[in-house]
Amino acid sequence: MGYGFMDIATTPSVRAVQAEMGADGMWADFRGHREFDRFTDNEKAFIGERDSFYIASVSETGWPYVQHRGGARGFLKVIDDRTLAFADYRGNRQYISTGNFAANSRACLFLMDYPRRARLKIYAHVEKLTLDDEPSLTEMVTDGAYGAKLERIFRLRLEAFDWNCPQHITPRYTEDEIAVAVSPLRERLAQLEAENADLRARLR
């Protein structure tokens, strides 16, 4: 059975607020229209291009925690159309997300493409694996060029995903993206400087 993202997100309290704001009619018949429980080639390509994401967990006391994860482009691996995985390297050693997932496997991920103003949100269950549990998976997600100590593997089982509208996403660009964008300007500037130098040489 497929689960739509809104089927999970829309709780009784959410429905009450929707009704209060006059938006309940928009979502009353939502089930069955958007059952995104398998990644398509579109989502796989999008995930493979990301170099960071945000992941939310919740503690036994009910407090949410949001963590930013970053790495080389594509470090969040698509294992199959319902499974993601990534290597967990040693950081500040607080282990808040890791501890939360031990108590409650539910997670929500936000994957952002700021230049294109696109946002993919994912509901998943998180499983913690040791490095020896599944050696082939560990090898698949490990970045040998990354200098940090690898501590564990996280495997994520998809429940549902959805795309958000781009209306309030402010475009932002990485250093590499800016370098690519200004490369023609740099080349043109170098060309003009060479032409100026040639003209100055002729006028001497």
Residue 2: pLDDT band (50, 70, 90) is very low
The pTM (predicted TM-score) of the whole model is 0.85
Quote the number of domains for the chain. 3
Q: Are 160 and 3 in contact (CB under 8 A)?
A: yes
Q: Which residue range is the domain that position 139 belongs to?
A: 36-171
CATH of the domain at 121: 2.30.110.10
List pLDDT tens digits, range 21-40.
998 877 676 655 555 779 99
Q: Tell the burial category of 128 from Cβ atoms under 10 Å away from its Cβ (0-12, 13-18, 19+).
A: middle
- Identify the three-state secondary structure at position 31: coil
Predicted local confidence at residue 106, as pLDDT: 97
What would the pLDDT profile of 135-167 be if each residue is shown by its tens digit? Answer: 999 999 999 888 889 999 999 999 999 998 888
| Cβ atoms of 82 and 38 closer than 8 Å | yes
Q: What is the pLDDT of residue 201?
A: 87
Q: What percent of the chain has pLDDT over 70?
A: 94
Same domain for 23 and 59, yes or no, is: no
